[in-house]
Structure 1
Amino acid sequence: MKIILMFVSSLDGKITKDDDPEVTHWSSKEDQALFSRIKNKSSLLVMGRKTYEAAHIQLKPGILRIVLTHNPQKGVPGILEFTDETPRELVNRLKNKYKQMLLLGGSDIATQFFKEKLIDEVWLTIEPEIFGKGTPIVTDESPNVSLKLISLRRLNPHGTLHVRYEVIERS
């Protein structure tokens, strides 16, 4: 199963602006449209609790959403699961059922998956904004990871970029 980490960030690597977890308050309409298209083509979405609460993701049959949390609650069978499994346990459970996992964050979840050397690709939209304050893409506990550029696409005249990287070395 290919695991793809997908984020939108500011130029200085923040996935939130100050304390506002709502990405749609600052991300471009082009990124939001791209995210929606990719998300709707995916059959497996994995995210942390904060991302789930901020994202307002609509539940649709055929797309399993899994929320990693310390306090699992009852979900909707086949559509929404809450789990306290480790990233490795989750991947082992799902690897024979799905071809691809789209990992939506946040930074704690991204760091956990990087630590376990589970991420194959990083898809990142970079908005031409500098926030200073905000949540970083990964936490200070993240290991060093080397990436190789797969593609680069300009999304709008303002300079919003969508880049795709392959993870080539995980330390």
Structure 2
Amino acid sequence: MTNQPAAHELSVTRWIDAPPEAVYRVWTERTGEWWAPRPYTTPEVHMDLRPGGRALMAMRAPDGTDLPREEGVFLEVVPNRKIVFTNVFKSGWIPQDPFMVVIVTFDPEGTGTRYTARVLHWNEETLKQHEAMGFQEGWGIVAGQLAALAEGRSISDAA
């Protein structure tokens, strides 16, 4: 894979002081705890971690308002190393409006993990929309929450 960003790409990377296996385990088994930037929550998570398997996360605002459910499918799953998913399809390969493909990697680096989430958008319009939604801040916050849990800290300690 090239280190050059793809056209219409946004990304977040973070070094996490935990092995890839621990980071992957938190990403896949404790998703509801870190997926939404606090004080938002993720009360519903369904993940069938295999190509074609369902990915569904539902977030709730601090005032109790349920946000639109985020549903897609997994395209590639390499345990402890890589997860690729998209919201181009719902489960069963049912098309929906294309927005993004997400490539998450868990690369060993020193005594920890280089966590990277690359988000590829179909066009400049969807990229700008995601930026306006607060991509850098939001995805940075959740990377910190993921790191805190993987490192055995409380999410309130996430930075």
TM bucket, shorter chain: 0.3 to 0.5
Q: Which structure dedicates a bigger proportion of its chain to strand?
A: 2
Q: Structure 2 length as normaliser, TM-score?
A: 0.32
Q: Tell which has more relative contact order, 1 or 2 (C-alpha 8 A, sep 6+).
A: 1
With normalisation by structure 1, the TM-score equals 0.31
